[in-house]
Amino acid sequence: MKQSLRLGRVAGIPVGAHWSVLVIAALIAASLGGAVLPGAAPGQAPGLYWTLAVVTSVLFLASLLAHELAHALVARWRGVPVKSITLWLFGGITQMEGEARTPRGELEISVVGPLTSLAVAGLAFLMAAFMPGPRLVLSALMWLSLMNLLLGVFNMLPGAPLDGGRVLHAVLWWRRGDRVSADRAAARAGQGLGLLLIALGVAEVLFTSWAGGLWLMIIGWFLAGAAGTEMAARSAREGLGGVRIRDVMTPLPDAAPAWLEVEEFVSGVASRSHQSVFPVVAFDGAPVGYVTLETLAAVPPAQRATTRLDRLARPVPPERILGPDEEAAKLLERPAIGPMAALVTEGGRVVGMVTAQDLSRMVRLALLRRTG
């Protein structure tokens, strides 16, 4: 999940938000300011309703962050590096580099998020029940308590990719001693849960409220799709056991010298090559980035004799520059962006590349190994 807005760091962990957070924040504020708060405490100034609605919406997003931060801190304590936390339309994502090594570690990482939401719900309820204050503010606290209660309970439903699915996975892994079997069971449970929510949403659309039913259907569709994707990714990782980058890369590809002009490179290399993407290299063979035929074709003919390739090169993230003896499963840790999935270097020089097509073929072959 790409961060559209970076919010800073918490405990050294980069925190950001996807643009879809603005959608959920606006929906929450509209619901609170237009219906919930006026219904709970009538007779107040409209500006007061909307101000408190915005504040409560921000507090709810903060509670989502607390949920994800709990996952991240326990993961780091358990020795799993954490790259970032991103808030988005359906809650939040804690991106980890790797997985828990034991069922207990996974259980602790998974359950702490919902427990944090339940703790926030309890705190907000106690403040609303026993703290003196305006009825409008107490109503907002009760809403915040209810939403966090629902968040904690919903996330504990037993199906991947929800936290409850991770808890189920940890328990099955511990009982069966087989992580692969637990992977499949948790993913299937997630697909079943998604289909159940879709069915409930359809029933609600037909017999009660179309808005609530539509929302259930969207959530169910997301869960079923995410569980299916996770199952495929797990199967691909299993099929890639023992496979190295050198086994899937395009070795010694035609390279684009960074100092050449477009016209010279096209006439001397690109026009004779079967590649559609080229690694751009420095004098010493070190990676600079990559260019595609589309990028080269976009340069106006009058400028091709004076435009150097290093000006056109698109960067490759450091985590996408790998060695030939590293595990090919590393390519699945982050989805490829663009036609270049990875550059392969040895001794600081480019010795191969993995294109998006190579990656797709690798995954298909891994799935065949897994099901064969």
For 180-213, how does the pLDDT look when each residue is reduced to its tens digit (9 = 90+)? 788 888 888 988 999 999 999 898 888 887 767 7
> What integer is the mean pLDDT of 331-346?
79
Single pTM value for the model: 0.72
Q: Tell me the pLDDT of the chain averaged across its residues.
A: 88
Nearest to 30 by CA among 49, 44, 43, 17: 49
> What integer is the mean pLDDT of 334-343?
76
> What integer is the mean pLDDT of 257-277?
94
Q: For 47-84, how does the pLDDT look when each residue is reduced to its tens digit (9 = 90+)? A: 999 999 999 999 999 999 999 999 999 999 999 989 89
Q: What is the pLDDT of residue 363?
A: 76
Answer yes or no: is pLDDT of 343 > 50: yes
Active-site annotation holds for 68: yes
Q: Are 345 and 323 in contact (CB under 8 A)?
A: yes
> What integer is the mean pLDDT of 357-365?
79
Q: For 157-176, how does the pLDDT look when each residue is reduced to its tens digit (9 = 90+)? A: 988 889 999 999 999 999 99
3-state class (DSSP) for residue 258: coil
- Among the residue ranges 31-35, 129-133, 139-143, the one predicted with the least confidence is 129-133
- Report the CATH number of the 245-371 domain: 3.10.580.10
Q: What is the pLDDT of residue 255?
A: 95
Q: For 222-261, how does the pLDDT look when each residue is reduced to its tens digit (9 = 90+)? A: 888 888 777 777 766 666 767 889 988 999 999 999 999 9
Nearest to 144 by CA among 123, 169, 116, 167: 123
Q: What is the pLDDT of residue 171?
A: 94
Q: What is the pLDDT of residue 257?
A: 95
Residue % of the chain over a pLDDT of 70:
94
Q: What is the pLDDT of residue 372?
A: 47
Answer yes or no: is pLDDT of 1 > 60: no
Answer yes or no: is pLDDT of 28 > 50: yes
Adjacent-strand bridge partners of 15: 8, 85
**Could you tell me where in the chain the CATH 3.10.580.10 domains are found?**
245-371
Q: What is the pLDDT of residue 316?
A: 87
> What integer is the mean pLDDT of 338-360?
89
Rg (CA), the chain: 25
> What integer is the mean pLDDT of 94-113?
90
Distances (CA, A) of 199 to 126, 208, 213, 243, 297: 36, 14, 9, 41, 49
Q: In this structure, what token pair is assigned to residue 7?
A: 């919010």
Answer yes or no: is pLDDT of 320 > 70: yes
Residues near 243 by beta carbon (within 8 Å), at least 6 away in sequence: 327, 328, 329, 362, 366
Q: Are 21 and 61 in contact (CB under 8 A)?
A: yes
Of the residues 68, 106, 108, 230, only one is catalytic, namely: 68
Q: Which of the two residues, 207 and 42, has the higher pLDDT score?
A: 42
Answer yes or no: is pLDDT of 129 > 70: yes
